[in-house]
Structure 1
C-alpha cells in the first residue's frame, strides 16, 4: 500500500511531462533545439520529459513559448500545481501551527456524507477525547518542532468532530487492536479515551470495527492510516507527508482495502470485549 499512496502523484506528473513532450513534437522541435531556445541544458529537458523533475511555472511558460503554445500555459501550470498539492510535507501543513490545519479542513468535513477511516496507531481524530488529543498533539508539536498552539488546536479538533453527532453523515471506522493498547498520555487519559470509544460505538451513524491481533491474513495488510471522503478523495498519512489521492482508480484501491479490512474486523459485542480488555489491562 505504501507504494500506491504516491502513485497518483507520479501519474499526475507523468501526464504533465507527456503533454510537454507532445507540444515539442507538434512544434517540430528537437530536444536540443527546445533546450537552446529556453536557455537551459538539454539534460533538463530530458528530466522534465521523463517526469524526473517537476517543471516550475517559469519552465512551463518558456517551454510553451518555444513551442508556440502560449494558450496552454495556464492549464499546464494549474495541473502542475495540483500535482504538487497531492504530496504535502507535514512541515508545510503544520508550519502555522496545528490549529490552522484543523480549521482548514472544516469545509471538507462538513460536505462529506460518508467517511471511511483506517487507523493503525492512534485513535481516529473524530473519536478522540480532548485529553487524548492534547497528549497526541503535544507529542507531534515536540517531534516536528511546530509552533505550540496545542490548546487551540484541540479546541478546533473538538469543534470539527461535531460532524459525528450531527446526523448528516455516516462513519465506517476501522482501528487495529493495537490502538487500544498504545498508551497516549497517562493511564487516566487512556481510560477516558477507551470509555469514550465505547460510547461512540453506540452512536447510530457510527460503524466501528476493530481488526484483532488474531485476524487471519493480517501480515499482508500492514498499511498506512487513511481517511476517505465519500468516493472522491483519500488522505493518506505518511511519516513525512500527507498524500492526497483523487484518481478514481487509486481511490477505488482504498475502497477495496477498507472493505477487505472490514471483513477482518470484529464489531458489536466482540469489539466491546476487546475495549473492555484494554481497560482492564490499564487497571492491572
Structure 2
C-alpha cells in the first residue's frame, strides 16, 4: 500500500475520481524509480489503498500561485473521507514523539526518501524504520473532519 509522509511543499492530488495521482500540470506523477505507468506495486489484488500524512505547514507554503494553491486545497478536501484513502494532517502546536525529517513514500516494504540531492531507496530492516516512524507520526495526526477544518482554515487564510 502506498504511504506518504510530506513535510515538503504540498503534493498535487487527483485522487477523488481516479486511483493514481497526477501532477499540477496534469501529467502522471512518477512512482517508484520514476515510473509513471501503474506506479504503485501491490502484492495483493483488490482496491488500491493509499495513506497520505501531511505536515500542516505544507498547506500554507506558497511555492505556486495562490490560485493554484487554492485549487489544491479544494482538491484535498475531496480526499477526506474517501474509503480507500487514509488522509491525515500533523497539526502545528502538537507535541511530537518523533521529529519529522525527510519526506518519504512507502510501497509495501520499500521506503523512498527524498532529499535535496535525490531519492534513496531502502528495503527490509531499513524500510521498517520508516514504517515505525510513520506509525508514530499517525498517532499525532488529525483525520476526518478535523483534517478538513485545517484545510479550510488554510484556504481561508490564503484569501485574506
Which interval holds the TM-score relative to the shorter structure? 0.7 to 0.9
Residue number among 85, 88, 100 corresponding to 1:222 in the alignment: 100
Q: Is the 8 A contact 1:127 1:161 kept in 2?
A: no
Structure 1 residue 282: Cα displacement: 1.1
Q: Distance in 1 between matches of 2:114 and 2:6?
A: 10
Structure 1 residue 126: Cα displacement: 4.9
**Of the two structures, which has the highest relative contact order with CA contacts closer than 8 Å and spacing of 6 or more?**
2
CA pair 276-161 structure 1, distance change in 2 beyond 3 A = farther
Matched ranges for 1:80-229 at <5 A: 114-124=1-11, 126-127=13-14, 133-134=24-25, 154-157=26-29, 168-217=47-96, 220-229=98-107
Aligned residue pair count: 145
CA pair 187-210 structure 1, distance change in 2 beyond 3 A = same
Q: Distance in 1 between matches of 2:71 and 2:92?
A: 23
The answer for unaligned runs of 5 or more in structure 2 is 16-20, 31-35, 41-45
User: Quick check: which one's strand share is greater?
Assistant: 2
Residue number among 140, 154, 158 corresponding to 1:278 in the alignment: 154
Q: Distance in 1 between matches of 2:142 and 2:159?
A: 24
Q: Distance in 1 between matches of 2:75 and 2:39?
A: 14
CA pair 162-189 structure 1, distance change in 2 beyond 3 A = farther
The answer for unaligned runs of 5 or more in structure 1 is 1-113, 135-153
Residue number among 90, 111, 114 corresponding to 1:237 in the alignment: 114
Residue number among 231, 246, 258 corresponding to 2:134 in the alignment: 258
Q: Is the 8 A contact 1:172 1:208 kept in 2?
A: yes
Name the TM-score, length of structure 1 as normaliser: 0.47
Q: Is the 8 A contact 2:80 2:145 kept in 1?
A: no
CA deviations on 1:25-81 (whole Å, 9 max, x unpaired) are xxxxxxxxxxxxxxxxxxxxxxxxxxxxxxxxxxxxxxxxxxxxxxxxxxxxxxxxx
- Could you say which structure has the larger radius of gyration? 1
Name the TM-score, length of structure 2 as normaliser: 0.80
User: Quick check: which one's helix share is greater?
Assistant: 1
CA deviations on 1:96-153 (whole Å, 9 max, x unpaired) are xxxxxxxxxxxxxxxxxx11110001234555886x734xxxxxxxxxxxxxxxxxxx
